[in-house]
Amino acid sequence: MSILVNDALDRNLETNYQIEIHNIYKSFDKRDSAVTVLENINLNVRAGEFISLLGPSGCGKSTLLKLIGGLLDQSSGRLEIDGHAITGPSKKVGFMFQKAVLLPWRTVQQNLLLPIELSKGNVEEANARIGQLLELVGLKGYEHYYPKELSGGMQQRISLARTLMTDPDILLLDEPFGALDEFTRETLNFSLMDIAEQSGKTVILVTHNISEAVLMSDKVVVLGINPGHVLETIDINIPKPRTDQVMATKQYSEYVLHIRDLLGVGRK
């Protein structure tokens, strides 16, 4: 398949990576033995790339995301951001989980200020950014609403805005829209793509959805299971910005079918 030919010859002219993952292994102790959940993971990410980690449940996608975010330590291997070993959570990294986790007794504005307050940042400066961020996620004017007054999709938009409050270089997203209906999820996916392209931030998204991964990503890392390992890293050579019309193209379909074959999805 010509569209799957890696463009590494051109891209490897650049040697600086924002995120470097080399020979990562991760095990968890369970009773009297250790269970390996990630095995020999290698991945280099350039600043501004949109990466999807794709694979079945139990392949270690979320674990890998937590390693990059400094929420877990690897068992062995090297994991760096901007040439420095990851030893814990970093201000350079923003993490968005599957649920919005908004504090119900705080307004949207107060929820957005929470990471600034916790890091003892400048609340006055942060307040000045709230309107801009809410406009970016399509919710300008909702500053004084409470979470219970917002739909699930709106709450996830607020969660995304909160992740952006500290202006991280890297966004780590663990299936942030997975619990939403298909229509809301697709709308938010396009919003996320717009935000990534406008801000130039690096995005790493965990997803089970093959179509979503191909539509949104510069690169899809397909993971296998038992233990989690990289089956293939695929460059998605579809021009940006992408619209829903991309999903009707032969090129898009070939990527989706190739990944389905890798994962053994569908009736043979």
Retrieve residue 19's tokens. 């995120």
What residue spans define the domains of the chain? Answer: 2-92+170-263, 101-167
SS3 171: strand
Quote the pLDDT of residue 4.
Answer: 39
- DSSP letters, 101-151, are ---TTS-HHHHHHHHHHHTT--HHHHHHHHHHHHHHTT-TT-TT--GGGS-
Quote the pLDDT of residue 15.
Answer: 59
Greater confidence (120 vs 263) lies with 263
94-144 tens-digit pLDDT: 998 888 889 999 999 999 999 888 887 888 888 888 988 898 888 989 999
Residue 175 pLDDT greater than 90, yes or no: no
How far apart CA 266 and CA 210 sit, in angstroms, is: 12
Terminal CA-CA length for the chain = 20
67 contacts: CB under 8 Å, gap ≥ 6: 24, 26, 38, 73, 74, 79, 86
Quote the pLDDT of residue 11.
Answer: 41
43-78 tens-digit pLDDT: 999 999 999 999 998 899 999 999 999 999 999 999
Q: How far is CA 36 from CA 75, 93, 121, in A?
A: 9, 26, 39
List of E strands, the chain = 19-30, 33-45, 50-54, 76-81, 84-85, 93-96, 170-174, 202-207, 219-224, 229-235
Which neighbouring-strand residues pair with 233?
221
In the DSSP assignment, the letter for residue 16 is: -
Percentage of the residues of the chain whose pLDDT score is greater than 70:
93
Q: Across residues 230-244, what is the average pLDDT?
A: 93
Quote the pLDDT of residue 233.
Answer: 96
Greater confidence (100 vs 246) lies with 246
Residue 80 pLDDT greater than 90, yes or no: yes
Q: Across residues 73-93, what is the average pLDDT?
A: 92
| DSSP β-ladder status, 19-30 and 84-85 | unpaired
Q: The domain 2-92+170-263 is classified under which CATH number: 3.40.50.150, 2.30.40.10, 3.30.1540.20, 3.40.50.300?
A: 3.40.50.300
Q: Across residues 219-237, what is the average pLDDT?
A: 95
pTM of this prediction? 0.87
Q: Across residues 236-243, what is the average pLDDT?
A: 91
Q: Across residues 209-224, what is the average pLDDT?
A: 95
10-33 tens-digit pLDDT: 444 445 899 999 999 999 988 778
Question: In which band, very low, low, confident or very high, does the pLDDT at 3 lie, cut at 50, 70 and 90?
Answer: very low
Quote the pLDDT of residue 78.
Answer: 95
Quote the pLDDT of residue 36.
Answer: 92
